[in-house]
Amino acid sequence: MALHAAALAGVLARPRHWRWAAGAVVLDQALLTGAGMLPRSRWLGPNLSRLEDPGRAVALTFDDGPDPEVTPRVLDMLDEAGMRASFFCIGARARAQAALVGEIARRGHTVENHSMNHLYRFAALGPRALAREVMTAQAILADCTGAPPVWFRAPMGLRSPLLQPVLESAGLRLASWSRRALDGVSGDQGAAVRRLTRGLAAGDVLLMHDGNCARDREGRPVVLSAMPPLLLRLRQSGLLGRALPRAA
Ligand SMILES: [Zn+2]
């Protein structure tokens, strides 16, 4: 804003130099847009992509659910392995599957905010529409579990500079990831496991999908065929899967 004001003042004072002012504004916009297109960048505000003080833990996170077919089976696998996770739920899906969202929390996991409608144009929304996408989901998810989410993950990880003030007023912090399975786009479960485990270390934040997941060759949601080898690998490495921390 300050740069835009300075550019305008510059143009008013020296109209001949308008190209410099316009160039500065365009460059500023390009930098802000570029920062928003990098899911793990911190240029637009705080952004968690690794755990601090992880001990022997990695964070397991699942996006785009809840899904009535996939989510309950993910919950069973986590129970069996004695591990916990954070579920970044889409508000509209949570409204349709409120009991399932409650079940996620009841079984010891955390439910976090992944916007109301997971719009592809999320990063291009104006301030009011953006606030609506965040706040409506926040209210629905708090209703389902009895505790409001503390983390927000932007749809596709893309965001604009307008997001940070909305998150602050909702008491939310931005979370991204350090490794992702790409199980929303690729049906190759071997590749998904490799993406998550090659060089895996304590503190990593793993991103998988219990909603919108791709199917493997047998038609199974990739996350369900990728989880057993992933959980085995965690156990063999002495790593524990846990949710993102709730306290600041
Ligand atoms: Zn998503």
Q: Distance from the CA of 116 to the center of ligand 1, in angstroms?
A: 11
Q: What angle do CA 126, 132, 138 make, to 5 degrees?
A: 140
Residue 36 has a pLDDT of 67
Q: Distance from the CA of 189 to the center of ligand 1, in angstroms?
A: 19
CA separation for the pair 227, 208 (Å, rounded):
9
**Computed from CA positions of residues 39, 42, 44, 48, in that sequence, does the dihedral angle turn out positive or negative?**
positive
Q: What is the CATH number of domain 57-242?
A: 3.20.20.370
pLDDT per residue as tens digits for the range 156-194: 999 999 999 999 999 999 999 999 999 988 989 999 999
The strand pairing partners of 48, in sequence order, are: 175
DSSP-based three-state secondary structure for 14: coil
CA separation for the pair 199, 194 (Å, rounded):
9
pLDDT per residue as tens digits for the range 44-88: 888 999 999 999 999 999 999 999 999 999 999 999 999 999 999
CA separation for the pair 234, 168 (Å, rounded):
34
Q: Which of 228, 209, 240, 242 is nearest to 109 (CA)?
A: 242
Alpha helices for the chain (secondary structure H): 2-13, 18-37, 71-81, 91-96, 98-106, 127-145, 163-170, 189-197, 222-236
- Around ion ligand 1, residues with a beta carbon closer than 5 Å are 63-64
Which residues carry out catalysis? 63, 209
Q: What is the DSSP letter of 147?
A: S
Q: Which two tokens stand for residue 118?
A: 């997971």
